[in-house]
Amino acid sequence: MNNGLDKKTIKKGLLPYVFIFVIMLGVFYFYTINGSGKHDFTYDKFMDKLDSGEINKLQVVTRGSGYVYEVTGTLTDYKDGEYFEVVLPLSEHVMEKIVKASDEQEFKLTVKPDPDANGWLIILANLLPIVGLVAFAFWFFNKQMAGNKSSLDFGKSRAKLDNDSNKVTFKDVAGLKEEKEEVKELIDFLKAPKKFQKLGARIPKGVLLMGPPGTGKTLLAKAVAGEADVPFYFISGSDFVELFVGVGASRVRDMFKEAKRNAPCLIFIDEIDAVGRQRGTGLGGGHDEREQTLNQLLTEMDGFGANEGIIIIAATNRPDVLDPALLRPGRFDRQVTVNLPDVKGREEILAVHAKNKILADGITLQNLAKRTPGFSGADLENLLNEAALLAVRRNKEVITMSEIDEATDRVLMGPAKVSHKYSENDRKLVAYHEAGHAVIGLKLKNASDVQKVTIIPRGSAGGYNMMVPTEEKLCSTKTDLLEEITGLLGGRSAEEITFGEITTGAHNDFEKATKIARAMVTEYGMSDLGPLQFEQQSGSVFLGRDYNKPQHFSNEVANEIDMEMRKIINECHKKAKEIINKNKDLLKLLADTLLEYETLTKEQIDYLVEHGKMPEEGEDNYESMSITKLKEIAKEKGIKNYSKMNKAELLKELSEQ
């Protein structure tokens, strides 16, 4: 698709040059090729040809207001396109000789009056083709530029006025109680600025919203404009930066000029880190265009000019790369961190997005909120939307827990690979691996609750174990982190004990466990090295600042860090193997049940641990049935090739019956 668009663009760009080439070719033909058969005669040569009888055709025109004759003609031996021209003095003797020769030699003679007698006609005849050519060229180039009219408006602001922002209010923003309190002052100022000015209070000129993607930063900014009922301009940071130096600064000036006309108003700059990165950094030097744009933005916000009644709200998820001048008082005076919602916030967000959804009886938003720790507002909206789509696909009239579970898996891991076939030996390995994680989660006191275990492959994983904290904590203890590492190593421990062999299935578990262990040693001071911080969380590398970041500890300390990490991992691995060895029966029970049912929920796991068997299967609840039972039903319904299907494929076929 992109190649096609590129070809179209190239062809469109070449058309003006092709047009110019054709015009030049026509001019060349007219003046060169068309005039290549012309012969200029002198008076004597013409008279010789006239006397010798070689004239074939002759045309005489009076020129120069009647002072000369302009004679054009052809000779008998001329080819097509050849002719001669000669200028003769105005004389009765000359004209009589031409007429006499015409009578004797019988060649065609034409005499025309002076055409200069009608000068306007000559001018019109000569200029009309040129005017038409220029008009056509102007129309052609104007048509070529019609698709890119904005290309000439380099310095114009790209900020757009959102007329629908007043429809969004704080009622539409759920789960951000503290954040809404922080920006309420902006609304009061926009509505009644004199109340603040009377007491000498200066309202913040800018508010920076920081937080992970999908937490509602843009929605919060729209709600501020909606509550204050003022114009809302929005623009992305990348809209300022262009190829030409100085364009971004011009757009900043134009944006504030437009905002002053509509003050009081609110300007929202999304992804401000695109233009607000630290100056003088980056491999190969700075970026002149971006830095000039940032300088102009800094000047407009708190420079020599006054921008009363204009409040700027900016959003970013990379505050660590912003220029310090942006964050000082007088510019972005206030920084508001928009974090991921807690369980109460998630319940409020789900209530907003569930207004137009029909949920089955027994599904409560409180339980859904507890099952989705770490979900942002965008994730929760996507979760309910995916569940609704699945319900429609399965021809259901309400959204059941089955669709919500499947939607949760889709958001976290992607769609199930129902067509993926793997051997019984691989299924057994995956079942024992996931059962090992579940056993550790069930037996450790401070471990997370096991919500779901499945051996259905999703994404790059052959199966996975969903575990959520028993309660959401602000801080984690050393015991919490050690038990989390132990739980991650439960799958590898189960493989070693059951099969006496290890597989590549635990590579993601090792990645997470190593990251936690390194943070415990280098950041949290949870090792024998003491309460020292050797490293800091920096997220993605900021080239020019973090690429050659110096190491503030010796090679000996680096070796000790590695030894402490290995010590933590080895102790947790040893503990995981001890727990698995003590609970082999539970491990086998969970693994065998997974092989039969492929997916186990928290309720099924709790019943299985307590009674040693699965609860009774419902008559119409296919999701809770074993593969054996589903195959019996498929056989009764006449479904072909049912014996080769997995559970997901059987459920799909039965739902379509």
Among the listed residues 412, 14, 348, 317, the one whose alpha carbon sits nearest the alpha carbon of residue 171: 348
Q: Which residue has the tokens 């006025």?
A: 161
Is 434 considered catalytic here? yes
The DSSP element (H or E) to which 209 belongs, if any, is strand 206-210
Q: How many CB atoms lie within 10 A of CB 172?
A: 14
Q: What CA dihedral angle connects 212, 215, 216 and 221, to 10 degrees?
A: -40
Q: Which helix (H) or strand (E) holds 412?
A: helix 401-413
Q: Widest CA span of the chain, in angstroms?
A: 138
CA geometry: angle 120, 123, 126, nearest 5 deg: 150
Residue 355: in which H helix or E strand, if any? none
Cα–Cα dist 86/106, whole Å: 20
State the Rg of the chain over Cα: 42
Q: Which two tokens stand for residue 358?
A: 């029909």
Residue from 182, 434, 564, 623 carrying the catalytic annotation: 434
Residue 63 parent element (H or E)? strand 55-63
- Alpha-carbon dihedral angle through residues 27, 33, 35, 39, given to the nearest 10 degrees: 160
Partnered with residue 467 across adjacent β-strands are: 450
Q: Can you name the residues that pair with 28 across neighbouring β-strands?
A: none
Q: Which residues contact 319 (CB under 8 A, 6 or more apart)?
A: 208, 210, 273, 335
Residues 6 or more apart whose Cβ sits within 8 Å of residue 135: none
Active site (catalytic) residues = 434
